[in-house]
Structure 1
Amino acid sequence: MRAGLFTAFIAATWLGGQVQTSLAQTVSPNEAAKVSPRKESAPRKEAATSDPHTTGFVTGAAQSTEFAIAQDIATTLASGQETGPHGEVALRVLPMVGNGGIRNIIDILSLAGADMAIAPVLLADRLRSTGTLGDIGNKLVYITPLFVEEFHLLARSEIKSLSDLAGKRVNLGEEGSAGAVLGREVLNHLQVKVSESNLTLDSALDGMRKGQISGALLVSGKPVGFLARYAQGDGLHFLSIPYSREMLQHDYLPSTLRHEDYPDIIGDSDSVDTIAIKCALFAYNWPIRSERFPLLELFVQTLFSRFPEFLGDGHHPKWREVNLAALLPGWRRFRPAERWLQQQSGGEAALRKAFGRFLEQKSISNPPDREQLFQDFMRWRERQQGR
């Protein structure tokens, strides 16, 4: 078992370097095909046997919103479960810190304990189309699309615009992260030549405070709690990243950072235009007869049936962007997830049942209050499906 894990780690490390090199030069899916990166077989995957009740969830850096989402899932699903004679639960979700980029996808394909990961759809699409890791279309499936991840470009006070970063030291994040791969691409597209650093976010922000770094990029869903706390009082501010129609062809979306997202960084009536990308919850396509398949199936059933719980104020606001039934073009959905959605498409009765289970855990006992909450939930769901 140790030898297998060591082999998987070495393979992931080597392949990570190959993928980062090829995608770092990529500015669009079409141009990626022209690069003709070296093709390799998909990494080998061995099933973990140490704990049949724990599913591994690879996410972004510990400071990211994606990690907060994974923690939301882990803590929420841990409650309300029957326990065994020694306190064990049938399903345990274990968040695993990743870099939010290419490495997350490689981890799903190679690490024994990694069953699923939050990853940018754009990077997954490119890995599949270039064939850098072989045919991953049969090894990678999606559970559900999630939300958009915004580009957060922080700068020191003397940097007033994007053009002021030209020739300056700018941290794009660790190699292979969404910030490093896509930030490099965006800056090249905007013809802003910087001196690139690839530090952790903590190190980059510390370097900015000392004047060693002029800017730092993080690609993560807003609001990122760590940024709001760290930047307060340091004179840091967000730079606008202009959006063009050409970016839409490369799967970027327009977005805006507002005062309510970062009240200590953005003024009351101010906002900052930026761009964003979509992310999704991907999973390894375990064979039906494998021991990991029923565990991942249980995860899907539990997450989907308890989804209304994540829409409350106690959870990250990004949950309100999630539409479980949304499709991810070009990818296959994990079969139990598809089956659950088909079963629930029968209508409102199933939704009311799930919503009722959610409210039973709350202090809402007045029927009119329950009905009003359910109608608000239904209107929100209809808006999401209409997007």
Structure 2
Amino acid sequence: MFTAFIAATWPGGQVQTSLAQTRPSVSSNEVAKVSPRKESAPRKDAARSDPHTTGFVTASAHSTEFAIAQDIATTLASGQESGPHGEVALRVLPMVGNGGIRNLIDILGLAGADMAIAPVLLADRLRESGSLGDIGNKLVYITPLFVEEFHLLARAEIQSLSDLAGKRVNFGEEGSAGAVLGREVLNNLEVKVSESNLALDAALEGMRKGQISAAFLVSGKPVSFLARYAQDDGLHFLSIPYSKAMLQHDYLPSALRHEDYPEIIGVSDTVDTIAIKCALFVYNWPIRSERFPLLELFVQTLFSRFPEFLGDGHHPKWREVNLAALLPGWRRFQPAERWLQQQSGGEAALRRAFGRFLEQKPITNPPDREQLFQDFMRWQQRQQGR
């Protein structure tokens, strides 16, 4: 079932020479190409999975998303009692993915791949396309995570998006968030480029040699791999303008700053960009299945130890995470929903208490009110960890 998709997205180290503008913006119809025909959601084989190991599909090894998965694996591995042969009750195994639609397909059909970090926008499109049938009961979420910023790194002679016209731009491996959404963004901005689909390290090497003019990466800032490239290399970030049209496609305005990339961005400089939301999705194992107790243990352990991730020793993206936040249109994994409901009566009770608090200081702007609530939730999570 995955043959057509894998063949279409396999990078193979080859440079594609087609113009990005000649390819239409990604729609639910294009997402349907993931599968050669419409069918029911794939079935998982629990028998081939390690009963103590949960597979965590993420983006490339250079990405922030992979670092987050490694952070979870390392932190949750500590503090567990081990058996006579050193085994632990819960082991989280990060699995390198492409950070795009393929991550979600792996959850749905790959034995041992229980969950993944993936862009919400791509999950929405996969579900709406119907290419894998009704996946709403198979794919659920544990928690929304953070926003992933669009990074467009360019050579010194490229000073604006218009300078990229006719130049070779790397979008990342085919099917990745960078390839799908980066291509869509340049199409919408009517910038025609020659496309390549290399891994990030190969693309950066091509930029040093002058073979590639710019490279796209969609990942949460700061990406440590990029942070190691200083201004001496002549590489810098290009601004990506935000428009109301992008809002309709679920993009968010964002910015890259000196504190994110001190070796690339000047002290007083800011690079405008866009971003998308990502979430931790999970396969909705039936309650009586062999895998359900392991995923339930994962949720309980991650949520109860969440305050540990807010410290300085962890990636700053953790501070954007609100475990109780909702993902419109999607069902939350039952153990996660139950855990949240058990904490002070759940999010609904917290929102009621927060509403009573705000009655003393009314907020007329709804976005301001919601932002205050998210800050309140993060504060409460920190208090629980004390």
Structure 2 length as normaliser, TM-score? 0.84
CA contact (8 A) 2:40 2:133 kept: yes
Give the direction of change, closer, same or farther, for the CA distance of 1:186–1:141 in structure 2 (3 Å limit): same
Q: Counterpart of 1:69 in structure 2: which amino acid?
A: I
* Distance (Å, rounded) in 2 between the aligned partners of 1:31 and 1:218: 21
CA contact (8 A) 2:28 2:126 kept: no
CA RMSD of aligned residues (A): 2.5
CA contact (8 A) 1:16 1:106 kept: no
The yes-or-no answer on 1:14 pairing with 2:12 is no
The residue that corresponds to 1:105 in the other structure is 104
Give the direction of change, closer, same or farther, for the CA distance of 1:113–1:218 in structure 2 (3 Å limit): same
Give the direction of change, closer, same or farther, for the CA distance of 1:31–1:15 in structure 2 (3 Å limit): closer
Measure how far apart 1:17 and its partner are. Answer: 5.2
1:381 to 359, 379, 382: 379
Structure 2 matches for 1:25-104, cutoff 5 A? 25-27=24-26, 38-104=37-103
* Distance (Å, rounded) in 1 between the aligned partners of 2:107 and 2:378: 32
Unaligned runs of 5+ in 1: 1-10, 352-376
* Distance (Å, rounded) in 1 between the aligned partners of 2:145 and 2:63: 15
Q: Counterpart of 2:157 in structure 1: which amino acid?
A: E
Measure how far apart 1:86 and its partner are. Answer: 1.4
CA contact (8 A) 1:141 1:283 kept: yes
2:145 match: secondary structure: strand
Structure 2 matches for 1:1-387, cutoff 5 A? 11-16=1-6, 25-27=24-26, 38-346=37-345, 380-381=378-379
1:230 match: secondary structure: coil
* Distance (Å, rounded) in 2 between the aligned partners of 1:88 and 1:157: 51
Q: Counterpart of 1:217 in structure 2: which amino acid?
A: F
Q: Counterpart of 1:86 in structure 2: which amino acid?
A: H
CA contact (8 A) 1:323 1:381 kept: no
Q: Counterpart of 1:76 in structure 2: which amino acid?
A: T
Seq. identity, %:
84
Q: Counterpart of 2:197 in structure 1: which amino acid?
A: N
Measure how far apart 1:132 and its partner are. Answer: 1.5
- Which deviates more from structure 2 when the two are superposed, residues 39-48 or residues 256-265? 39-48
- Which deviates more from structure 2 when the two are superposed, residues 80-89 or residues 319-328? 80-89
* Distance (Å, rounded) in 2 between the aligned partners of 1:81 and 1:61: 28
1:204 match: secondary structure: helix
CA contact (8 A) 1:12 1:43 kept: no
4+ residue segments displaced more than 6 Å = 30-33
Give the direction of change, closer, same or farther, for the CA distance of 1:120–1:98 in structure 2 (3 Å limit): same
2:324 match: secondary structure: coil
Measure how far apart 1:32 and its partner are. Answer: 7.6
CA contact (8 A) 2:171 2:179 kept: yes
Unaligned runs of 5+ in 2: 11-22, 351-374
Measure how far apart 1:84 and its partner are. Answer: 1.0
CA contact (8 A) 1:28 1:250 kept: no
CA contact (8 A) 1:222 1:318 kept: yes
* Distance (Å, rounded) in 1 between the aligned partners of 2:30 and 2:112: 34
Count of aligned residue pairs for this structure pair: 342
